[in-house]
Amino acid sequence: MTCIHWRWRVATTQREFDDAARIRWAVFGGEMGLLSEQSAVARREMTPIDTLDTTVHLLVYAGSEAVAAMRVALPNAEVAANLGVRLGLEMEQRVDLSGMLQPGRVFAEPSRFCVLPKWRRTEAVTWLLAAMYTESRRRGVTHWIASANLETDSPEDALLSWQVAAHRGWVSPHWRVNVPDPWQAPVPPRSPFYTQEERAKAARGLLDELRLPRSPSLFARTMGARFIAEPLYDAYFRWFTLPLVMSLDEIPAESLARFDVLEHAVNSAA
């Protein structure tokens, strides 16, 4: 995969919106099996949030092929009024964010971050993160509020991932929200994340030797994410997630340098 012409863009055409929906279905439906059979009819994953004029869809292309996609939802007055909340972000349906709101803070909610499997060990991930950062900066966003996929519907394993994240120093000392009881989680779970050997290590306090799911690890390492709650069960995907906050002013310098290199490459090619 050398000499690839990379680019990212905000979706503005029907074809680009379709590219995003196809990628999302390929990852969440075809690969992970998290979507209903109804969504498999057209092999697209879309929700009402996607149609709002405050939702930004980002795509990464390798040549002419769309290989990664995500969305960034900005505050929406109509949604806020319908839900009786302050911002009108999807996450406010499940957790109370009011304690995090202060003058000067502009929140957005990134979600549906997905890269096609064969492109995950390429620059596609960095391009998508750079797109998220650059476009959010352009729109005046100061903080992202999100929830990272824990790749399991097991309450035990989700809580263990939270403990591993805390052990690595990735739990916020300043921000905290409460999550509802995960009563919708299946019993017994269908998709464990940790092995029995790993759970035995955790029981002995050997958290250094345990994995953390890909999504929370990526956002903590590359974007300075800090986790703000215990695991939250997502009834749509039927998996646990880990709520987090990211400040655009606290992105690691190494990541910003990589984004600058990409932007320079784009400007040089223009």
Going by the DSSP 8-state scheme, the letter that residue 74 receives in this structure is: P
Tell me, yes or no, whether 198 lies in a domain: yes
The pLDDT > 90 percentage for the chain reads 89
Q: Does residue 269 surpass a pLDDT of 60?
A: no
Mean pLDDT of the chain: 94
Tell me, yes or no, whether 133 lies in a domain: no
Tell me, yes or no, whether 261 lies in a domain: yes
Q: Total structural domains in the chain?
A: 1
Is residue 235 classed as helix, strand or coil in its secondary structure?
coil
Q: Work out the pLDDT band at 1, boundaries 50, 70, 90.
A: very low
Average pLDDT score over residue span 47-64: 97
Helices (H), 50-180: 77-83, 124-138, 155-167
pLDDT for position 95: 94
Strand pairing report for 232-234 and 143-149: unpaired
Q: Work out the pLDDT band at 19, boundaries 50, 70, 90.
A: very high
Tell me, yes or no, whether 178 lies in a domain: yes
pLDDT for position 255: 97
Tell me, yes or no, whether 31 lies in a domain: no
Tell me, yes or no, whether 21 lies in a domain: no
Q: Mind listing the pLDDT tens digit for each residue in 168-209?
A: 999 999 999 999 999 899 999 999 999 999 999 999 999 999
Task: Count the Cβ atoms, other than its own, within 10 Å of residue 169.
Answer: 9
pLDDT for position 4: 86
* Contact (Cβ atoms closer than 8 angstroms) between residue 70 and residue 112: yes
Tell me, yes or no, whether 237 lies in a domain: yes
Q: Does residue 3 surpass a pLDDT of 80?
A: no
Closest by CA to 118, choosing from 67, 189, 190, 188, is: 67
Q: Does residue 264 surpass a pLDDT of 80?
A: no
Closest by CA to 146, choosing from 58, 77, 219, is: 219
- Output helix, strand, coil percentages for the chain, rounded to the nearest 5: 40, 20, 40
Closest by CA to 71, choosing from 136, 158, 15, is: 136
Residue 240's Cβ-count burial label (10 Å; 0-12, 13-18, 19+) is buried
Cα–chain center distance at 257: 21
pLDDT for position 183: 87
Give the helix/strand (H/E) hosting 71: strand 65-73
Q: Which long-range contacts (CB under 8 A, 24 or more apart) does 233-236 make?
A: 233/153, 233/155, 233/158, 233/180, 233/182, 233/184, 233/185, 234/147, 235/184, 236/47
Q: Does residue 38 surpass a pLDDT of 70?
A: no
Average pLDDT score over residue span 141-163: 97
Helices (H), the chain: 14-24, 77-83, 124-138, 155-167, 196-203, 214-223, 253-269
Cα separation, 96 vs 259, whole angstroms: 33
Q: Mind listing the pLDDT tens digit for each residue in 67-118?
A: 999 999 999 999 999 999 999 999 999 999 999 999 999 999 999 999 999 9
Tell me, yes or no, whether 236 lies in a domain: yes
Phi, psi for residue 115 in degrees, rounded to 5: -125, 135
Question: By residue range, what is the domain housing residue 179?
Answer: 142-270
Q: Mind listing the pLDDT tens digit for each residue in 225-243?
A: 999 999 999 999 999 999 9
pLDDT for position 2: 60
